[in-house]
Amino acid sequence: MFRFSAASAIVLTLGLITGAPTVIDGAKAQDVPPPDDSAYSFDDFPREDLLEHPDWFKTGFLDLPSDLEEAIADGKQGLIVYFGQKHCAYCHKLLNENFGLSDILEYTQRHFDLVSIDVWGVEEVTTVDGEVMTEREFSVREDTNFTPSLLFYDAEGKLALRLRGYYPPYQFRAALEYVADGHYTRETFRDYLARGENRMVFEPEDLNEQPFFAKPPYNLDRRFPSERPLAVFFEQGDCHACDVLHGQALKEPAITGYFGNFDSVQLDMWSETPVVTPSGERTTARAWAEQLGLFYAPSILFFDERGKELLRVDSVVRFYRLRNVLNYISSKAYLTESFGEWRLSEAL
């Protein structure tokens, strides 16, 4: 099957819609380098050096309705609310590498204002919907389980897109365009990316295997409770990020040992493989992934013994973050608190 490379295809997406090539800050598709290992393979343990926000981040009183109003008055398309941590390796990646690229930086500044929220902070925030709470409470409310998390608000204060975690530059560019050019009003981000990656039509491709993956048929029905939590890996062929996950983190005994406590299955998120979901619905892997709004591969979704979704990891993940997630699920901390609450309590 012919397929565009992911990096070049995303910036072509608008051209497919308008009939003209898409340009971001003068960079055409062929000028954009393909993603390399550095986007997926890095040390994600907390950094010793504190992350400093760039001076173009908006400062003020964390009054988001006023911040949004000012952004629109300045001719911008909306407001980005950034949730981060000072020692977070993924936040360092976003600010230093993604925003270190001139085209991404210029495009972001041209179309959005950006306000930062400290997920541990105690400063008061007035949210876009008018509620007043601390930064920490706002972070928990919005399920910002992984930093950096970004909320994109349009001119009307509508949430146009939510990103949890770090995404490589080519997908981050696509997210900016998706909101700035109004594509969120016509299609999901999953479909927007899929057209750019030529994944609307596919041929099955080999996936990475693991000994803890259950074999088909995939009857995940948990209306009659299981004895163990469930981990569902949504992946795809020709997936460099999937290869890195399997070739690195999932080769570590400190990670793979946890999966002895789970039921685990692997699905091709673009396949017509029959699946019975945890809620008992008969569907296909592709239709279920679409229903779940998944656009990143690999994504790992965790369900409890009764089929309730507990947590999803649907962005770049490395050893430290994945181990924390598996510790939370394996310890059954989900019985008493959300992952965000658990993470805060563990840090205190």
Does 213 map to a domain?
no
Length of the chain: 348
Task: Look at residue 99 and give its three-state secondary structure.
Answer: coil
pLDDT tier for residue 43 given thresholds of 50, 70 and 90: very high
More confident residue, 344 or 22: 344
The residue-averaged pLDDT of 279-285 equals 97
Asked if 174 and 230 sit in the same domain, the reply is no
Rounded CA gap, 182 and 106, in Å? 18
Query: Residue 1: pLDDT above 80?
Result: no
Asked if 144 and 231 sit in the same domain, the reply is no
- Which residue, of 196, 228, 259, is where some domain finishes? 196
Percent of the chain scored above 70 by pLDDT? 86
Mean pLDDT of the chain: 88
Domain with 179, as residue range(s), is 6-196
Does 205 map to a domain?
no
Query: Residue 31: pLDDT above 50?
Result: no
Asked if 51 and 140 sit in the same domain, the reply is yes
Rounded CA gap, 332 and 304, in Å? 9
Question: 257 and 322 in contact (C-beta within 8 Å)?
Answer: no
- Could you give the maximum distance between any two Cα atoms of the chain, in Å? 56
Asked if 127 and 222 sit in the same domain, the reply is no
3-state helix, strand, coil in the chain (%, to 5): 40, 20, 45
Alpha helices in the chain (DSSP H): 6-18, 64-73, 89-93, 102-111, 135-141, 169-180, 189-196, 240-247, 253-256, 285-292, 319-330, 339-347
Helix axes 319-330, 339-347, angle to 10 degrees: 110
For 43, counting Cβ atoms within 10 Å of its Cβ (0-12 exposed, 13-18 middle, 19+ buried), the class is exposed
Percent of the chain scored above 90 by pLDDT? 80
What's the CATH number where 178 sits?
A: 3.40.30.10
pLDDT in tens, 180-202: 999 999 999 999 998 876 554 44
Asked if 302 and 159 sit in the same domain, the reply is no
pLDDT tier for residue 204 given thresholds of 50, 70 and 90: low
pLDDT tier for residue 341 given thresholds of 50, 70 and 90: confident
Asked if 183 and 247 sit in the same domain, the reply is no
Q: Which pLDDT belongs to residue 345?
A: 74
Q: Within 10 A of 280 (CB to CB), how many other CB atoms are there?
A: 13
Q: Which pLDDT belongs to residue 196?
A: 74
Does 41 map to a domain?
yes
Asked if 279 and 223 sit in the same domain, the reply is yes
Asked if 55 and 187 sit in the same domain, the reply is yes
Query: Residue 177: pLDDT above 70?
Result: yes
Does 325 map to a domain?
yes
